[in-house]
Amino acid sequence: MSGPGAQFTYADWLTLREPVDADARSAELAGWAAALLAGQDAPLVRDLGCGTGSMPRWLSPRLPAGTRWVLQDSEADVLERARAGVAGVEATVQAGVGALRADDLAGTSLVTCSALLDLLTADEIGTLAAACGDAGVPALLTLSVTGRVALAPPDPLDDAVAAAFDAHQCRDDRLGPEAAERAATAFAAYGTVLTRATPWRLGPERPELTAEWLRGRFAAAVEEVPDLAPDAAAHLDRRTRALLTGTLTAEVGHLDLLFVPPGGGS
């Protein structure tokens, strides 16, 4: 997951990225997920790593009327903001996903998440797949970074910054850019998996988000490879000037995944 620079809080970053997330997510997979809930009376959706609630706000208009939400996040401050900003919240749970079990999903119609998988370890993704698979609950898992970043115009330091940033994403055994493919494999053991490419498109039309993304990418790369700092600072300056003159564009690869258990779910 791309992250904020030092002057931004986590909640600030989530708020800033919400519009581009909304544009990028697969409406096609969301429509198929909604079809799985058709005919259910007040279906219950559990959103994992809910942050400030961007996924429920985007998905709710596509779901049956009366859909209820359980919001789950490990951070209390964003969880409270999500509760205040999402309609139909039935409960909140302050927890990560590492201990999720099939029993926790009793009565759940759909599991969702956004920009979460790349923060998980292989064990955590396996736990998530097993919980949904054993419970027979569909899952719509959106906006996992793939590691593909296409910047224009090209810059000589692009590859070095990308390698350092991707390595930073894999700290503490997190899967980072490998998460989406690993999740697809893990969930495929329990049912059908559909995927769609859902890239962010950044540039002069989103100057604040693009600038903050550049700063966050630079900070993570230098934290991972400190010797890169002098060259990376010049690289950031070149990229920022290109953004200000309207010549910089970036496509940041993400993947959405829909898991459908046998029979379509509960």
Per-residue confidence in pLDDT tens, the chain, 266 aa: 444 444 568 889 999 999 999 999 999 999 999 999 999 999 999 999 999 999 999 999 999 999 999 999 999 999 999 999 999 999 999 999 988 999 999 999 999 999 999 999 999 999 999 999 999 999 999 999 999 999 999 999 999 999 999 999 999 999 999 999 999 999 999 999 999 999 999 999 999 999 999 999 999 999 999 999 999 999 999 999 999 999 999 999 999 999 999 988 76
Question: Model's pTM, two decimal places?
Answer: 0.94
Which domains, ranges and CATH numbers included, belong to the chain? 10-146+171-200+252-264 (3.40.50.150)
Both ends of the chain: CA-CA distance in Å?
Answer: 31
| Paired residues of 249 in beta bridges | 152
- DSSP 3-state of 150: strand
Residue 153: asked if its preceding bond is cis (omega within 30°), the reply is yes
**CB-based contacts of 32: which residues, under 8 Å, 6+ apart?**
194, 258, 260
Angle at Cα 85 formed by Cα 79 and Cα 86, nearest 5°?
Answer: 90
Length of the chain: 266
Residue (of 50, 65, 55, 54) closest to 30 by Cα position: 55
The answer to whether 70 and 93 are in contact (CB under 8 A) is: yes
- Distance (Å, whole) CA 146 – CA 164: 15
DSSP string covering 169-181: HTGGGB-GGGHHH
